[in-house]
Amino acid sequence: MKYSSLFLLFGCAIMFACNNPKNGNDSSVTTDGENVTKKALGKSFYKRLEGTIAGKKVVMHLQKVDDDEVSGTYYYDGSWLNLSTDTVIGKDSIILAEYNFYESYFNENSKSPLLKLKWTGNGFDGIWESGDKTKKYPVILTEKYPEGSYPFSIGIYRDSVNAFANRAKSPTAEISFQYLESKNRDENGKWLDSELKKIFGLEKVDRLTGFKNLAATYFSDYKTDVAEQQKDGRGSEFEAWMNYTDNSQQTVNYNDNGYVVVDFLTDTYTGGAHGNYNSSMICLDVPNKKQLELNDIIKIDSNALSGILERNLRKEYNIKAKDALSTFLFDDFIKPNNNFYFNANGIAFMYNPYEVASYAQGQIVIFIPYSDVKNYLVPAFKQRMKIK
């Protein structure tokens, strides 16, 4: 199973029948500095969770829209892990499948570990179970927003149009926007919310108006494509390729120390053998009200960074020293790009399909622990992230 399959799961999470933005039924977060008050799990939510799995500290981010799929991420013991719904047991009980894109790349038949979780009113208790069911560890998670982290609500806008207005079984074009909205209304919260809107290209309009305008343009282009295909005399065998989709989703990847990292995933299909997807990682410095560039985090010669990237690429994807990188990538080198992100343990570089490798290989993510670049970290970033 390739990492691209993860986005099929994400794609399921954003296909809902509604034509207006929704913030869901998640009640506002009430804090006493760190802990939120007890409340129902809710139909739609973003939750930042702290706790332990097998006694080791984790910070987990979970999202859910309209009582459907749950998705999320966390970092544990050297692995950046992704989560998606396996089974919904009840209103407050879920089973999440854990996906490690490094391990799954090499073993397509591997069975995902499961997190069996029960909502306690302000967190989750449960067990982590290995894919072969031979190992089980306790999970204890509490929803927390310490100073330097931010609460969000989550919503979705979705609309569709038929290719042929008078046909019962017409091909369709569907569009959706799953979005985050800052709950804080102070100066920092308002800036953060404006940046979240900018990711969608919305600056001077509210979300509802902006999404409607984007959808109208998309549907107009779709109608033009359909008309051109008919003009070219293409028959009904091409109509299956006329079922276009355009889904976009904002996901919190990191939320601490005044930094918010958002994964902006777009997943599109416009005919042909398969669609395409792309993740843009946006790193926001909220107190200083700026989007981070790489040199705000690390100052290093690009050739030196390329060497560090290659070393970690070989380690993570099991490429032997004797083998050229071109046995795995398009080229015999890997260059840093601007699609970076970070958490408490290190920096990662995201390479989207076709950027450095084939579509079949999915996204290539190279994680660099801070210990590998300790001498190059910008002092202000190092201090704020509490890197020793």
Is the pLDDT score of 317 beyond 60? yes
pLDDT for the residue numbered 2: 36
- Predicted pLDDT of residue 233: 64
Confidence at 13, pLDDT banded by 50, 70, 90? very low
pTM of structure: 0.87
Greater pLDDT, 365 or 79: 365
Residue 314, judged by CB atoms within 10 A of its CB (0-12, 13-18, 19+), counts as middle
In the structure, what pLDDT confidence band is assigned to residue 62 with cuts at 50, 70 and 90? very high
Structure tokens at 157: 């806008």
pLDDT beyond 60 at 204: yes
What is residue 6's predicted lDDT score, i.e. its pLDDT? 41
pLDDT digits (tens, 9 = 90+) for 25-40: 444 444 444 555 667 8
What is the percentage of the chain residues whose pLDDT exceeds 90?
70
Rg (CA), the chain: 22
pLDDT digits (tens, 9 = 90+) for 65-94: 986 789 999 987 667 789 999 999 888 999
CB 189 within 8 A of CB 258: no
Q: Around Cβ 358, how many Cβ atoms within 10 Å?
A: 11
Count Cβ atoms below 10 Å from residue 356 Cβ, excluding itself: 22
Given this model, what pLDDT does residue 238 score?
A: 73
**What integer pLDDT is reported at residue 216 of this predicted model?**
98
Mean pLDDT of the chain: 87
Report which of residues 68 and 202 the model is more confident about.
202
With 50 as the cut, is the pLDDT of residue 167 above it?
A: yes
Mean pLDDT of the 334-341 span? 96
pLDDT at 101: 59
Per-residue model confidence (pLDDT) at position 111: 84
**Tell me: the pLDDT tens digits for 111-149?**
889 999 999 999 999 999 999 999 999 999 999 999 999
pLDDT at residue 19 is higher than 60: no
- Using alpha carbons only, give the angle 153, 156, 159 rounded to the nearest 5 degrees: 165
Domains of the chain: 4-9+32-143 (2.40.128), 152-291 (3.30.565.40), 294-384 (3.90.640.20)
Residue partners of 173: CB distance under 8 A and separation at least 6: 160, 161, 163, 218, 219, 222, 243, 244, 245, 246
pLDDT score of 27: 44
Give the model's pLDDT for residue 76.
77
Q: What is the predicted pLDDT for the residue at 106?
A: 55
| Sheet containing 340-342, strands listed edge to edge, beginning at the edge strand earlier in sequence | 340-342, 346-351, 364-369
- The C-alpha atoms of residue 361 and residue 357 are separated, in whole angstroms, by 7
Higher pLDDT: 14 or 125? It is 125
What DSSP string runs through 163-213?
SSTT-TT--EEEEEEEEEEE---SHHHHHHHHHHHHHTT-SSS-HHHHHHH
Q: H or E stretch including 216?
A: helix 207-231
Tell me the CA distances in angstroms from 299 to 76, 258, 374, one per residue in order. Answer: 27, 21, 11
Span 175-201, average pLDDT: 97
